[in-house]
């Protein structure tokens, strides 16, 4: 079992989303909001969880309910060892899923909770090639090497070159590679080819990704054939079938001002204009959700291959709720296409968010799909516009300011003897060594220096001599 919350709850959410207004069950929403808004209630809930774990045995009927509660508490107290250990213990006890892709998700969650545990690296390395069906290891490695070039070409607006490369990377026994090729065909408006790829993929597909995508395509085609379709539904169906220019041309006809930035974001991300998409998503969030969820910080995330297309895994990485992500993004599915964006509401912890932009990479160990080696990504990457200030996540003192071959122009802040933060790849540093800094004070101007391929901030947290997940602090 890799889902944190019950299938009944997910089904209720899906029904609410499809019918009209997205939402959780009242009890789940109440619990999450109470935990977000009340430290005493979190403390009481944690004590109850710890007491229950003292009596718990593997196989007990309340295991799923305890896992749900531990997961909710972990969102708000990720550094509290008893909550983390309870979650790890409960997850380990759950039955291993049947599909290889679902097993990979199971171990990826455990690795996020225990990044230093080599057992999870071994399990994930074993699954890396097995999950792609009967294709040879050499064939899979070649596909991965071509895939990065395909994504780069797509983001550069070279659609035909990208589709040629996606086709070259296509593995017909792999749900992952099949779906990637299919949704790029879809977003290029080549619907019949996309449907053919999806129909040729064996099995139901991981997270129902393949059949969901096929059903959505067919539903959008059907909607566009109906006369008198309302403008928002027409725009949505046009975007869903890759007719992006036609969708953009219809935007002036919208009468609901909150919908315009939402559709602008959907169009921009499919064209590889991620900064434009991110800004429109945040504008839409402010119009649609900010008043309803003032206790959360909205963060835009561009999903990566290592997220395994799972909103559950993305929610875990951001220390938030899968269901809240689904509600905010008005989607019943618990999956997301690679390199597509999602608005993630994050419960604020001790640090403030260090830069405006979208997150493109998380902390954690990465398995190189071609070399088969592991490497620790020591922080998070926030893609920014040029000349954006990165600010101090917490008050402290500048303990280091220099140029580093990997980190570029960097600044390190010391907050306590055990805690410091690192700001990398700056165009220039704004502070000198020894300067006392307040939270929110500009530290560097973001840039592309050092070992960097884009204008971004690499933000890292070092605690007691070890790099730790920034999302445990932000």
On the question of pLDDT at 27 being above 90, the answer is no
Q: Cα–Cα distance between 266 and 277 in angstroms, integer?
A: 7
Q: Cα–Cα distance between 208 and 317 in angstroms, integer?
A: 22
pLDDT at 206: 66
Q: Please check whether residue 316 is in contact with residue 344, taking contact to mean a CB–CB distance below 8 angstroms.
A: no
Instruction: Supply φ then ψ for residue 458, to 5 degrees.
Output: -95, 115
pLDDT at 28: 61
Lowest mean pLDDT among 26-40, 46-60, 320-334: 26-40
On the question of pLDDT at 76 being above 60, the answer is yes
How much is the average pLDDT of 160-187? Answer: 94
On the question of pLDDT at 222 being above 90, the answer is yes
pLDDT at 370: 75
The tokens for 193 are: 């080819």
pLDDT at 8: 31
- What contacts 24+ positions apart, CB below 8 Å, involve 229-233? 231/255, 232/256, 232/259, 232/263
pLDDT at 113: 96
Tell me the CATH class for 364-472: mainly beta
pLDDT at 29: 62
Domain boundaries, the chain: 364-472
How much is the average pLDDT of 440-453? Answer: 96
pLDDT at 19: 31
Confidence of residue 97 (pLDDT cuts 50, 70, 90): confident
Kindly give, in sequence order, each residue whose CB lies less than 8 Å from that of residue 468, ignoring residues fewer than 6 positions away.
Answer: 363, 461, 462
Q: Cα–Cα distance between 359 and 393 in angstroms, integer?
A: 16
On the question of pLDDT at 258 being above 60, the answer is yes
On the question of pLDDT at 173 being above 70, the answer is yes
**Alpha-carbon distances, residue 280 vs 6, 77, 272, 310 (angstroms):** 32, 31, 14, 23
Mean pLDDT over each residue of the chain, to the nearest integer: 90
pLDDT at 284: 96
Confidence of residue 90 (pLDDT cuts 50, 70, 90): very high
Q: Cα–Cα distance between 323 and 48 in angstroms, integer?
A: 23
Instruction: Supply φ then ψ for residue 431, to 5 degrees.
Output: -130, 155
How much is the average pLDDT of 265-270? Answer: 96
How much is the average pLDDT of 190-204? Answer: 89
């Amino acid at each position: 079992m890799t889902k944190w919350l019950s299938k009944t709850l997910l089904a209720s959410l899906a029904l609410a989303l499809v019918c009209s207004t997205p939402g959780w069950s009242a009890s789940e929403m109440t619990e999450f909001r109470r935990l977000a808004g009340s430290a005493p209630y979190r403390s009481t809930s944690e004590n109850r969880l710890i007491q229950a774990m003292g009596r718990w045995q593997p196989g007990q009927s309340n295991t799923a309910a305890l896992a749900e509660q531990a997961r909710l508490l972990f969102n708000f107290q990720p550094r509290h060892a008893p909550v983390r250990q309870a979650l790890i213990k409960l997850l380990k006890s759950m039955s291993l899923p049947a599909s290889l892709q679902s097993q990979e998700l199971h171990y990826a969650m455990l690795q996020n909770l225990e990044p230093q545990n080599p057992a999870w690296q071994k399990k994930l390395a074993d699954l890396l090639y097995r999950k792609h069906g009967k294709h040879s290891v050499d064939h899979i490695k070649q596909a991965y090497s071509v895939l990065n070039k395909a994504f780069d070409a797509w983001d550069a607006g070279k659609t035909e070159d990208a589709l040629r490369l996606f086709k070259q990377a296509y593995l017909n026994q792999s749900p992952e590679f099949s779906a990637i090729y299919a949704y790029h065909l879809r977003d290029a408006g080549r619907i019949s080819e996309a449907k053919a790829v999806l129909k040729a993929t064996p099995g139901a597909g991981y997270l129902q990704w393949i059949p969901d995508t096929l059903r959505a395509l067919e539903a959008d085609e059907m909607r566009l054939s109906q006369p008198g379709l309302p403008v928002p539904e027409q725009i949505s169906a046009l975007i869903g079938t890759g007719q992006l220019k036609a969708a953009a041309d219809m935007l002036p006809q919208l009468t609901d001002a909150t919908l315009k930035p939402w559709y602008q974001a959907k169009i921009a991300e499919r064209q590889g204009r991620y900064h434009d998409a991110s800004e429109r998503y945040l504008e839409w969030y402010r119009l649609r959700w900010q008043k309803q969820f003032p206790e959360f910080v909205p963060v835009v995330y561009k999903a990566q291959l290592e997220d395994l297309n799972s909103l559950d895994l993305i929610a875990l990485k951001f220390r938030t709720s899968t269901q809240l992500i689904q509600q905010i993004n008005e989607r019943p599915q618990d999956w997301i296409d690679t390199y597509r964006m999602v608005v993630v509401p994050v419960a604020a912890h001790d640090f403030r968010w260090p830069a405006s932009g979208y997150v493109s990479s998380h902390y954690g160990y990465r398995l190189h799909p071609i070399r088969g080696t592991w490497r620790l990504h020591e922080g998070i990457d926030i893609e920014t516009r040029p000349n954006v200030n990165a600010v101090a996540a917490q008050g402290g003192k500048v303990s280091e300011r220099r140029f580093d071959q990997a980190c570029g122009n960097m600044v390190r802040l010391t907050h306590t003897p055990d805690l410091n933060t690192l700001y990398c790849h700056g165009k220039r540093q704004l502070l000198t060594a020894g300067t006392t800094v307040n939270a929110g004070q500009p530290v560097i101007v973001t840039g592309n220096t050092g070992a960097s391929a884009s204008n971004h901030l690499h933000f890292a947290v070092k605690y007691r001599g070890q790099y730790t997940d920034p999302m445990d602090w932000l």
